[in-house]
Amino acid sequence: MRVINCIFVTFSICLLSSCSLPNSASSPATDAVNSQSSALTSLSDAYSNYFDIGAALNRTQTSGQDPQSIAIVDKHFNTLTPENDMKWESIQPIEGQFTFEGADALVQYAKKTNKSVIGHALVWHEQTPSWVFEDDQGNEASRELLIARMKSQIFALAGRYKNDIKGWDVVNEALNEDGTMRESKWQQIIGDEFIELAFTFAAQAAPKAELYYNDYNLYNAAKMDGAITLAKRLKAKGIRIDGIGEQGHYGITPPLDELELSIQKVASLGLKMMITELDISVLKFPEGENMGADISLNFELQDDYNPYAKGISAESNNKLAQAYSDLFALFLRYEKEIDRVTFWGVSDNNTWRNNWPMKGRTDYPLPFDRSYQAKPFVRTLIKQAQL
């Protein structure tokens, strides 16, 4: 069994991977890597000539209650994104009541450790309280009211961190898979122009920050064409946009060829490309492995979809290593076009993938395992950068 599995992966990965079954937390191979972990180079140092390497942090981490994650972040990542703490529901849950504690904690930690911060996200249809879209009678807000609220949120949030944040996901997930505009409350009430308004307010509130459009499945040609159309529309009106972020929530077979074409498209427009929320699920999904990241989807937990509750198989572990290696090989080929690669989390015990789109699964999508140990492929990724 072991030998057969190893035949199907590259020699280097097999050498560095766990070929034992199961591998719930740390395997002998993981331990071997980590027993020399002080010798393990930092991921962001290894890639420093090419692009930034980041992670999304949650409140437990930024408030100091998860020192093991912070030890990883200190060493391996040079750019940080708040996983939830700068979303509208975190910043202004009730109209006029701003709560910046979580966001401040992340910015303070980044300053102390000399890491850059990416703001996420100014305008999104998710994790935005319903009051935003309603007037004080509970009816749908008028266009003017919604624009005024968008402006005050952007000025309060992007303005507060105008000297601290390197770039903002200004608009998140405004497109359908076919590249047309999603009919979100923003789009329905304001019209397509909500995009122009969001980027204009962000440029005014944080003139030094880079401004990005961010979405999932932008490897899909039709969807990327929609994003390119948006960017061209902004540019034609003299409104600044600096980059496009592909979230990068993939399944075990990332869409490498399509992704390559999409990177080329962004580059041809003179925009920066970033992979903003990278994780690779080893699980199967009700709508196929690269089903995107619509957070409103919620399927009932079925054992059939949760095969590795007690430990990942060696075969899946090897496929995961191969998928990461292939992706980073692609990123390295396009290192001039790619500005940043951010993982959506630090270790497997704290990833949103354990709960989306089914609550309570056990997934293994990140470079660090449930015992906060670097998986063997981390060393492979580091070696790839050093070739």
Residues that bind ligand XIL (CB under 6 A): 83-84, 172, 247, 277, 293, 295, 352
Number of alpha carbons in the 13 Å side-chain half-sphere of residue 149: 27
Q: Which two tokens stand for residue 26?
A: 């740390």
Minimum separation from the CB atom of position 174 to ligand XIL (A):
12
Identify which of residues 41 and 84 has a Cβ nearer to ligand XIL in the complex.
84
Distance CA 349, CA 218 (A): 27
Minimum separation from the CB atom of position 144 to ligand XIL (A):
28
Identify which of residues 246 and 315 has a Cβ nearer to ligand XIL in the complex.
246
173, 210, 246, 315: the catalytic one is 173
Q: Which two tokens stand for residue 375?
A: 């998986």
Per the annotation, the verdict on 258 as an active-site residue is: no
Candidates 80, 154, 156; CA nearest to 121 is: 154
Number of alpha carbons in the 13 Å side-chain half-sphere of residue 21: 11
Per the annotation, the verdict on 277 as an active-site residue is: yes
Secondary structure percentages of the chain, helix, strand, coil, to 5: 45, 15, 40
Q: Are 210 and 273 in contact (CB under 8 A)?
A: no
Identify which of residues 324 and 352 has a Cβ nearer to ligand XIL in the complex.
352
Sign of the CA dihedral 287, 290, 292, 295?
Answer: positive
Number of alpha carbons in the 13 Å side-chain half-sphere of residue 320: 29
What CA–CA distances, in Å, run from 34 to 3, 236, 332, 351? 24, 52, 25, 21
Identify which of residues 25 and 295 has a Cβ nearer to ligand XIL in the complex.
295
83, 210, 246, 277: the catalytic one is 277
Minimum separation from the CB atom of position 352 to ligand XIL (A):
3
Minimum separation from the CB atom of position 292 to ligand XIL (A):
9
Minimum separation from the CB atom of position 158 to ligand XIL (A):
17
Identify which of residues 122 and 228 has a Cβ nearer to ligand XIL in the complex.
122
- Residues known to be catalytic: 173, 277
